[in-house]
Amino acid sequence: MFFVLSKTLGTMLLPTNFLIELGVIAAVLLATRWARWGRRLFVLVIVLLAVCAFSPLGNYLLYPLESRFPKWDASKGAPDGIVVLGGPVDADMSEIHNTPITRSAADRLIAAAALARRYPNARVLFTGGSANLISNDAKEGDFASDILTSLGVAKDRLIIERLSRNTYENAIFSKQLVAPKPGERWLLVTSAYHMPRSVGLFRKAGFPVEPYPVDWRVGHWADLFSFENVALVGLGRTDAAVREWLGLLAYRLRDRTDQLLPGPDSR
């Protein structure tokens, strides 16, 4: 049920989708005796879309997520394993064209391959199945394996988890698959804005990980005062940030994390 709600209600509440839904309601009202309210709602929708698209709102929402964890400290020594969260691979398009196709967050795969070369004794686990509400046989893990091997990761070092549908299942299935031993050090590679939720879920699952953030969307604090000149970029950042904050809230309410905004100190 939680998965279904996240893919329906959660998607409907994303700013771009929600404002378009309000715009449709406004258009319907224009044809009724409540046309005055329809005009007002339509103006409100246009203003809010402009704010989401061109203002620093998305940066404001992303910055506390992306700055929550520092870059990984390599001086601690070589890790025993590397966990790479799914998200970069478009499994459906990859299956249609019979070749791996990536979308956003490809940094996760690139960083994992670089880490694998740097630490040749570390195991590499990719976790990701299909996040579609109506799933088919196309799984991210199947195509991620091809990408990682093409980037130089030996196939016998790869562990592929292909059943998980969301980050919670990433954590649960990953722990079951690799059974990390006490004292082992595993890196968690995912987008910087996604790291707080991911770390919180892995901690709650009993799988201690060391954050290795990649794929930043915001540069530094000065970006909090910069306006965007491409609407789709601004809308994309705002949607990504709101999705993440909604996910943090939902998982906290479900007691799948111990904190609303997990940080470097697990306490």
pLDDT digits (tens, 9 = 90+) for 195-220: 999 999 999 999 999 999 999 999 88
Considering the domain architecture, whether residues 27 and 111 belong to the same structural domain is answered as no
Considering the domain architecture, whether residues 77 and 206 belong to the same structural domain is answered as yes
Considering the domain architecture, whether residues 29 and 152 belong to the same structural domain is answered as no
Question: Which residues form the domain of 19?
Answer: 2-65+224-253
Residue 107, in any domain of the structure: yes
- The per-residue pLDDT of the chain, averaged, comes to 92
For residue 162, which phi and psi values (nearest 5 degrees)?
A: -120, 15
Considering the domain architecture, whether residues 136 and 48 belong to the same structural domain is answered as no
Considering the domain architecture, whether residues 79 and 210 belong to the same structural domain is answered as yes
**pLDDT of 266 above 70:** no
Sheet of strand 210-214, all strands in order from the earlier edge strand to the far edge: 158-161, 123-127, 81-85, 186-191, 210-214
CATH (domain of 121): 3.40.50.620
Residue 263, in any domain of the structure: no
- 221 against 200, higher pLDDT: 200
Considering the domain architecture, whether residues 110 and 205 belong to the same structural domain is answered as yes
Considering the domain architecture, whether residues 142 and 106 belong to the same structural domain is answered as yes
What pLDDT, on the 0 to 100 scale, is given for residue 181? 94
Domain count, the chain: 2
**pLDDT of 176 above 80:** yes
What pLDDT, on the 0 to 100 scale, is given for residue 8? 74
CB 217 within 8 A of CB 62: yes
pLDDT digits (tens, 9 = 90+) for 78-105: 999 999 999 999 988 998 999 999 988 9
